[in-house]
Amino acid sequence: MEGKKASESFTVMNELVLPNDTNVFGNLMGGRLMYWMDIAAAMASGKHCNSPSMTASVDNLSFKNPIKLGNVVHIEAKVTRAFNTSMEIHIKVWGEDSLHQYSYESNEAYFTFVALDSNNKPKIVPPIIAETEEEQRMYEGALRRRQVRLILGGKMKPDDANELKALFFPNN
């Protein structure tokens, strides 16, 4: 199967934070942001595999700065690596205060999606072609992140995680 460039999956999504999206502190609710991030990841994975896909996991969703009522949420998603039927998607989120004309980093996460065929069964996805230094760095780290996900999900034994072991025990 012919590979596809990581840049071909690049997706940008923007949302305006309205009163119904906020908590009692006037900040965007985490669940609403996660919903929007999931949509952006689904669009990026769909661009890569040309088929519907579904969320398999979400890694380390870290909240760095709150996004306030009236600000714009800017979400960028890109497939970092494709495995057999799954894809890792990197999500970055910024808040944009248009009144004061500045942007600030809010969140970052990795989502895993599985491509589905017409019978809703996992299907093979094209490999990723990482072109830039950043894409290559993300691509190389994806295997270690995948091994952590598999271990935490009980689908891999720690002793079988060769990429992770090499990171911690380079001389073995």
Residues 114 and 84: their CA atoms lie apart, in Å, by: 9
Whole-prediction pTM: 0.91
Largest distance between two CA atoms of the chain: 56
Helices (H), the chain: 30-49, 133-152, 162-168
Sequence ranges of the domains in the chain: 4-130
2.40.160.20, 3.10.129.10, 3.20.20.70, 3.30.9.60: which CATH number matches 4-130? 3.10.129.10
pLDDT tens digits, residue range 14-62?
999 999 999 999 999 999 999 999 999 999 999 999 999 999 999 888 8
Both structure tokens of 72: 């714009």
Predicted pLDDT of residue 172: 61
pLDDT tens, 49-103?
999 999 999 988 888 999 999 999 999 999 999 999 999 999 999 999 988 999 9
Among residues 35, 33, 53, which one has the least CA distance to residue 44? 53
